[in-house]
Amino acid sequence: MATLINSAIPSSPSRRFSISLTNPNSHFVKAPSLLRCVRMVKSMAYLELHRRWKSSNVELESKNNEIWRLFKEAQQNILYLNKQRVKAVDELNKAKREKQLLLNKIEQLEKENKRVSGKDNLVACWELLLRIDSMVLGGMVSTEEASKLRRMVIDSKVSLVDVFSGLLQQRDAELLAELRHFSEGSKRKGYHVIHICTEMEPLISVGPLAPYITGLSRALQRKGHLVEVILPKYASLDLDEVQALREIEADSFSFFNGQLHGNRIWTGVVRGIGVTFIQPLYFSSFFNRDGIYDHPDDFERFTYFSRASLDYIAKSGKQPDVLHLHNWETAIVGPLFWDIFAKQVHLLTFLLGHFNLEHFVFQNLNFILPAFNCLDEPDKLELCGLDPGRLHRPDRFQDTAKTHLVNILKGGVVYSNKVIVMSSMHSKGRIIHSMSHGLEPTLTMHKEKLLVAPYGFDNSTWDPSTDKFLPVNYSTENMRGKYACKVALQQQAGISTHASSILVGCIISEVSGFDLEKLKAVVRNATREGAQFVFLGNGSVSTTYRALRSFQEAVEDSNVKFFYNYDEALSHLVFAGSDIILCHSFHDPLLQVPLKALRYGAAPVSEASGDNHLRFSQFMRSTFGVMSLSQALDEMKNNPSTWKTKILNAMKKDFSWDSECYETHVSAYTAVKSL
């Protein structure tokens, strides 16, 4: 207390105090009054304390004000940055929208340019050929002259675009005059093949027939053959890909149900292939439906189309080397020719010129599947002019099991010169004895006709060295891009990007037929060994979507990613980024997953086995075909150099439409041509 008081009393030379507090009983004080001094000292001490407190509060308030100032500045900066971020995002989105609009415009202009002025030689060639057909139907030229003009167009060495592009917009008379001017041509070496079928990619596609028609036709034309397709004009056709679509302004009639019925004939070019569309007038409802198959009157619908196709070919004076029929829907063309048109050869020769359609190839994709719609009452054969009594016999149309019915598929086999069954894994013997669904006696009797051809794929679209969907392209000479694609797929799937992880891709569609319970066990075992999985489904099919949802819930693993909606770009990345592609079967006629996997350096692995017959099946069995997924994972880890060699060898193999599939078909065409 004394110290505090002393510190509170100011030192002054004019006035000093001396206070003794050592003796409380002392009454001697050297100052006016002790109480007065104490009061004064206390007052001065309180004043000093108040001054110090006030000074401290001022300093604290100053600091608080500074903190609030900094906080407000930071808050303003945050608000400003947030506004700038929102503005930048808006500008980025605007730029993206503008870019997409520009790309859409460019794509539209490119399509229009191709459709109007950018026609290549093949499109111009087909426009000319189809215009010649219209001239025949219109009576401007004879079938004999038309045949010569067709050969001239096919064999011409001049640039058809430069010579005829302007004339294609002219009337038939001006075009005919110019064609006659170029009527000298060399002998054609390739075959002229006409497909009569019910599907073609990208116009109408339901099953494996559509990509097969387009893929094989393009392969044949690349090798110098001339191929055209006749289709029904479905209301659901996608006509965006048709170039030079036009209606032939001439009458076209076909026989059905005892009368002649009119048809509208349309022509166009699809991916370099000439296509003719037949549109019934009276029976307009035949092909004006949502689905193209599985209707109660399918027999009537496709019998009408088959007869109309043959009537059109006859009237237009076409002289194909091979008439290629497909499935039961067009199989009746064979007996129609032999029982009706062949009897009219002399009459047709007089009216229409030479009529040579003796060569038929019947190709069936459905021997491995039941074809119940091909059975019907014998009397219905009369609809297209056939005699039921003549055809309802054991050696012709009579069904083996249901003898009271006719089997159109059986008739197609009997009346064709060659029969091609599409299968990538099965031998002729197995098809005849195990997969013919009641046609075993017929196929056994006609087994010399039977050929087995593998499916192919479009190696111009599915090529990792040029694939526009891949972040980095690669080839057998430089595989670095394969790893970049793997990292891109892992990032898009949101899974770890460790280089040592083995990535397994799996594409599931409504026709894949996976055993999901078995697949769950396979995935669980593989993920324990460090494997990653990416599943790509088809979300437009509700059953597939629900199955994949249930599958994901059952697996519950961060290394397993599901994409429910099919995306073309993502599907290419799955093939390119995967080390292994898990397949339900190597017999995949629709998606062609095993073939694409080999091309992209991903090993196709399947639990299903097949026959050791075709080149593809032989190669698969000698490399990846006998492996389970766990065995493949072990070999990748334990023998990486051997595995890499297998992958590179697989990528070099050609399993496209241009390879074994093409060779088998040309051998069939050559055989029927020599008969």
Count the neighbouring beta carbons within 10 Å of the beta carbon of residue 549.
14
- In the predicted structure, residue 351 carries a pLDDT above the cut 70: no
pTM for the whole structure: 0.72
- Start-to-end Cα distance in the chain: 135
In whole angstroms, what is the distance from residue 647 CA to residue 578 CA?
12
Do the two domains 192-456+664-674 and 479-652 of this chain adopt the same fold? Answer: yes
pLDDT tens digits for 168-213? 666 777 677 767 655 543 445 688 999 999 999 999 998 889 999 9
CB-based burial label for 5 (10 Å; 0-12, 13-18, 19+): middle
Note the pLDDT of residue 194: 94
Q: Within 13 A of 164's CA, how many CA atoms are on the CB side? A: 30
Average pLDDT for 32-57: 73
Token reading at 212:
């097969």
CA distances from 574 to 96, 400, 577, 634 (A): 25, 46, 5, 22
Q: In this structure, what token pair is assigned to residue 410?
A: 């059986």
pLDDT given at position 362: 72
Judged against a pLDDT cut of 50, whether residue 344 lies above it is answered with yes
Measured between alpha carbons, how far is 542 from 331 in angstroms, rounded to an integer?
34
Q: 274 phi and psi, to 5 degrees?
A: -70, 130
Residue 575 predicted with pLDDT over 70: yes
- CATH class of domain segment(s) 479-652: alpha beta
Average pLDDT over residues 573-591: 87
Mean pLDDT on 328-334:
93
* pLDDT given at position 164: 57
Residue 260's H or E segment, with its range, is strand 259-270
Tokens of 409: 């598929």
pLDDT digits (tens, 9 = 90+) for 95-143: 666 666 666 666 665 555 554 444 466 777 787 788 888 888 888 888 8
Q: Please tell me which residue, 517 or 507, carries the higher pLDDT value.
A: 507
Ranges 285-289, 306-310, 586-590, 591-595: which has the least confidence:
586-590
Which runs of E-coded beta strand occur in 292-428?
322-326, 360-364, 375-376, 406-407, 418-422
Its sign, for the CA torsion 214, 216, 219, 223, is negative
Q: State yes or no: pLDDT of 319 exceeds 80.
A: yes
Reduced DSSP (H G I as helix, E B as strand, rest coil) percent helix, strand, coil of the chain, to 5:
50, 15, 35
Q: What are the beta bridge partners of residue 280?
A: 263
User: With bands split at pLDDT 50, 70 and 90, how would you rate the model's confidence at 533?
Assistant: very high
| pLDDT for 19 | 43
Mean pLDDT, to the nearest integer, of 34-53? 74
pLDDT reading at 396 higher than 60: yes
Return the number of other C-beta atoms located less than 10 Å from residue 58's C-beta: 10
Contact present, 196 and 230 (Cβ < 8 Å): yes
Provide the Cα torsion 158, 162, 163, 164; round to 10°: 120
Label residue 532 by pLDDT band (50, 70, 90).
very high
Residue ranges of the alpha helices (H) in 156-240?
A: 160-164, 172-181, 209-222
Confidence at 372, pLDDT banded by 50, 70, 90: low
The percent of residues in the chain predicted with pLDDT above 90, rounded, is 38
> At residue 192, what is the residue type?
H
Contact 186, 218 (CB under 8 A): no
What is the per-residue pLDDT across 432-475, written as a single tens digit (0 to 9) for each? 887 777 888 999 999 999 999 989 999 888 999 999 999 999 99
Residue 264 to residue 267: CA distance in whole angstroms: 10
Report the mean per-residue pLDDT for the chain. Answer: 80
pLDDT band at 388 (very low <50, low <70, confident <90, very high): very high
pLDDT tens for 628-669 read 888 889 989 999 999 999 999 999 989 899 999 999 999 999
> What number is the average pLDDT over the span 422-431?
82
Buried residues in 430-443 as b, exposed as e (16+ CB within 10 A): bbbeebbebbeebb
Which residue has better confidence, 570 or 548? 570
Neighbours of 90 (CB within 10 A): 10
Query: Three-state SS for 581?
Result: strand
- The domain 192-456+664-674 belongs to what CATH superfamily? Glycogen Phosphorylase B; (3.40.50.2000)
* Residue whose entry in the numeric block shows the structure tokens 């990007």: 497
**Domain ranges, ordered by start, for the chain:** 71-188, 192-456+664-674, 479-652
